[in-house]
Structures are given as C-alpha cells and as structure tokens.
Structure 1
Amino acid sequence: MSAATLTRPSAGPTSKFIVTFPRLLRSELIKFLTVRSTLWSLSVAVVLVIGFGAIMASASKSQDAFGDGVSVGAMAPIVGVYFAQLVYVVLGVIGIGSEYSTGMIRSTLSAAPTRTPALLAKTVVLGIASFVVSFVSIVVAFFLVQAILSSTDHAASLGDPHVLRMLVGAALYLSFMTMFSLSIGAIVRNTAAGISIVVGLLLILPTFLPIIPWKPLKEIVKYLPGVGDAVMLPPGQSTHTAWVGFAILAAWTVVGTIVAAVLLKRRDA
C-alpha cells in the first residue's frame, strides 16, 4: 500500500509592495492636496501677504526707508508675513492634529509601522509646500509693491542690498514655522492645544515677558522661535543677525521634531 503525499496548493505570488519613504511622501502629498481646509488656509495666507503688501506700499509712499537704508519697496512685501504666519501655524498644527481627531492617524501608522518616516514625510511635504506657496506670494507682493511705488523714489529691485535675502528669508521663516507647529501638534496630539502653545511662544511670551522686572525672563525672549524673523528683516531691526535668528528657529524645529518622533514611537495611536 502506497501512501499518498498531500501537497498544499500554491498560494500564488506574494505581494512585493514595500512602504518606502518616497511612497510616504506621495501619500502625504495626496492628503495635502485633497483636504479643503489646507487649500483654503493657503489661499488666505496668499491674500494676506499680497494684500498687506499693497496696503503698506500705498500708505508709505512718503516714507524714506527702513533700517539700514532699506527702502519701503523692500520692506512692504514682508509686512503681510506677520499676519500670514498665524495661518501657517494653524496649517502646521492641523496637519497632524486633524488626523488624531478623526482617527486617521491609525491608518497612517499602520501603513508605516516604524512611525518616524511617516512623521518626517509629513514634515517634508508641509515644509516644502509652505515654502513654495509663501515664496511665490511674497514675490508677487514684491512686484506689486514696486508697481505701486513706481512714481516715487522708494521702489526697490532684486539687486538692492538685502532685498533678495529678505524675500527668501521670509519664505524660509514661514516654512520652518509651519514645520515647528507640526511638531508641536504631534507632541500634544490636540489641535486647539497645539495652536495655543505656538501662538503663546510666538506672540504672548515675547509681549509680556519683557515687562516683568526680572532679567532672566528678558533674556529668554531672545531665544524664542519668533526671533527667526530676523532672516527677513533689514539689518538692525532684530536682536540677532539674520542667520543667527533663523538658526534659533531651526533649532526649535529640529528639537520639536525629534521629541515628536520619540513620543510617536512610544505612545499608542
């Protein structure tokens, strides 16, 4: 009597789909482009930058210069950045806070079990998108301002001292502020709390700490994230030089992202 050998039927080829960082980037880009709140937020930010630039130029035709001989034509396109930065803060926080509130974060982390690449992909997409959109809007504001000031002596050109650095620096400032806000949103996992923390660091503490008669508190103000605006200001208009101020903001962003990555790996979704 011979024994029959039973064999299992072939299960077919196994899936070769591997989650790579470029695929995570693509996934985050799709999310970014398909969420209405993101597009509306960016639209508002663009309007603020261009609109306030035009208003500043129209209202300052008789102003000679800002800072170290920097003309109105160079400074006016930057004014709207201070209003638009609040929109970019919200954009950064809701970039991940909304996923926690809707539960989508579970799907995101299931697709990327190591978690850190998912956070980095989201950071890269938001950082690049905010830089591109803000830079385009700032350049549009710049040329609109020059058109408004064309009949005066206060117009500027890209070849003037500090002008190109100010325009690029303004976009860098908004980009890193967006990424920093994203890291705070990832740390606290709550949209309202994240926005409150960033606004506190950006606007409230720099306003109220200097009026407290204690020198250490006044020194703290010099190292808050908001000093990164030095990168878009004329010389002499900030506590720090342009790139030192930007380095402080970059350091906040890097540290915030590292803390967010560590907590993301340790905590449940």
Structure 2
Amino acid sequence: MSAATVGVQQYRPVERRVTPAGLLRSEWVKFWSVRSVVVTMVASVVATVGLGVLFSLAARSALSSGGAPAEAAVDPFTFSTMGAQFASLVVASLGVIIIAGEFSTGMIRTSFAAAPGRVGVLLAKAAVLAVNVLVLQGLAVFAAFLLGQAVLDTRDLGVSLGDDHVLRALVGTVVTLVGVSLIGLAVGALLRNSAGAIVTVVAALFVVPNLLGLVPDSWGGEEINKFFLTNTVSNLSSVTASPAYLDNGPGLAAFAGWVVVLGGLAVLALRRRDV
C-alpha cells in the first residue's frame, strides 16, 4: 500500500449529521447573541411589569380623587395586566426579528446550508422563542399582577391568586403572549422583511379587530370577530367572561389553529421559495 493511499484513508473527512439538539443549541446561542433580540426581550418584560404597575397607580389615583365611576365598575385584574397587551406587540415583533432579520442579513443561507431541510431551523427557532417567552413573560405577568394588586389593595380593590378565575386568566395571558410570538415568527418567515412583517402583525393585532366591529351581523360580523386571532382567547385571559367571545376551550383551540395554520404556511414558503 502506497504512502499516498495511507494518507487518503487517514484523513478522510467524517460526515456529521445535523441533529435536533444541535439546531436547538445553535438557535439558543443566536437568540441571546443578537443585541436587538435581547433588547426586545427585555423591553417586553419592562412593558408587562412597568405598564401594569402604572395603570394600577392611575386607577388608584382616579379612585382617590373621585374620578372613577363606581368601585363595582373597576376591574383590578385588567389594570395590572394592561402591560401584557402592549407586550404582545413586542413579542410578536421579536418573533419577526429572529427570522426576518436573518433573511435581511443573509445569515439564513448559512443556517439552511447546515440544515438543508430548512424546516428543522424554523422548528428550532419556534421552540427557543416559545420557551423564552413562556419563562420570562410568565414571570413578568405574575410580577405585574402581584405588584398591581398590592397598589390597588391600598384602596381595598385588589384581588388575589386564590380568587375565582384569576389563576386561569393569568395563565391564559401568558399562553396568548407565547402564541402571538409564534404568529410573529410565522409572518416573518412568510414576508422575509422585518418592517413589512411587523406592520402586518401590528395591523392584525390592533387595527383589524377594531374594524371587525364595523362589520354588520348580517354579514357574519359577530362570528368573524369571535374567531379572529387573539379575539379567540379574550375570555381565556380575562377574569370576567364576555358572551361576545368564545368560551375558554373552543377559544384556545381556535387560537392554536391560527398558530398551526400560519406555521404551516411558513413551512411551505421555506420549502418552495429560494433564499
């Protein structure tokens, strides 16, 4: 056997397969290495806690000055979780950034070269995003609730975790935030442009629901309103149920359907469109 043959056998490259665990590690590192992502994640926590406390302080001040109508009309839970409504916009933007940002910089080509199937990259991003939003926003939502209720308790208006439907509403709020972040990820993968995807998500979450109220019931406006995006989980994230929205079980199922359908469209786009 010649020396050349021995050399070829000795230094033959070893094929390494990309594993789901490897993709998760990679996406986790990328998630916490991008400054804009870290800043957005921190901003979502600040919005949830800070605005929740500020709205609670404003409610207490209005009651102290006699500016509020009647104590029976005050919903203490809503005041302390108002920040989560604004945070939903932030986490949706976060979902857009972690995928559309890679398309704009060209980094996505490297990711897809390492995982040619492409779907694994999207699933890894979704898992990392969901875990981070679930943990950090879960802590933020409960902190906002406890701090807000401590403020309102000075007027004997606060509620506690043990009160009816409070814990379910807090969990529903966190679930909504996780779902909204995944919707942002799906829209970002579909549009591949951060600005366009963020504008689309903002319109879908804050503009379209208000416009749906103008659709006549004879045109199906009431049903459309019930089944549109986050409207589906309005009762799930509220202490007081409204007959205008879906019950908790059907609402959660409809919301999950939105996430799955948009995620499925994102998968098809990644498979069929060039980078």
* TM-score greater than 0.5 by the shorter chain: yes
Which 4+ residue blocks in structure 1 deviate beyond 4 angstroms?
4-7
Given that 2:48 and 2:86 are in contact with CA atoms closer than 8 Å, whether structure 1 keeps it comes out as yes
Give distance in 1, aligned partners of 2:177 and 2:214: 27
Given that 1:93 and 1:181 are in contact with CA atoms closer than 8 Å, whether structure 2 keeps it comes out as yes
Q: Which runs of 5+ in 1 are unaligned?
A: none
1:170 counterpart letter in structure 2: T
Q: Deviations over 1:137-177 (max 9, x none)?
A: 11111221132123232222211111111111111101110
Q: Which runs of 5+ in 2 are unaligned?
A: 64-69
Q: Supply the RMSD in Å over aligned alpha carbons.
A: 2.2
CA 1:66/1:158 → structure 2, altered by over 3 Å: closer, same or farther?
farther
Corresponding residue for 1:226? Answer: 230
Give the alignment partner of residue 86 of structure 2, picking from 83, 87, 92: 83
Instruction: Report the alpha carbon displacement of residue 56 of structure 1 after superposing the two structures with TM.
Output: 2.0
Given that 2:235 and 2:241 are in contact with CA atoms closer than 8 Å, whether structure 1 keeps it comes out as no
Given that 1:202 and 1:224 are in contact with CA atoms closer than 8 Å, whether structure 2 keeps it comes out as no
Name the one with the larger helix percent: 2
2:18 counterpart letter in structure 1: V
CA 1:166/1:111 → structure 2, altered by over 3 Å: closer, same or farther?
same
* Percent of paired sites with the same residue: 35
Give the alignment partner of residue 181 of structure 1, picking from 169, 176, 184: 184
2:130 counterpart letter in structure 1: G
1:234 counterpart letter in structure 2: V
| Alignment of 1:254 onto 2:260 | yes
Corresponding residue for 1:171? Answer: 174
Corresponding residue for 2:100? Answer: 97
**Residues 138-157 of structure 1 correspond to what in structure 2 (within 5 A)?**
138-157=141-160
User: Alignment length, in residue pairs?
Assistant: 262
CA 1:146/1:5 → structure 2, altered by over 3 Å: closer, same or farther?
closer
Corresponding residue for 1:37? Answer: 36
Instruction: Report the alpha carbon displacement of residue 225 of structure 1 after superposing the two structures with TM.
Output: 0.8
Instruction: Report the alpha carbon displacement of residue 206 of structure 1 after superposing the two structures with TM.
Output: 1.3
| TM-score in terms of structure 1 length | 0.89
Q: Deviations over 1:214-237 (max 9, x none)?
A: 623453222111213332112323
Give distance in 2, aligned partners of 1:265 and 1:113: 10
| TM-score in terms of structure 2 length | 0.87
Corresponding residue for 1:55? Answer: 54
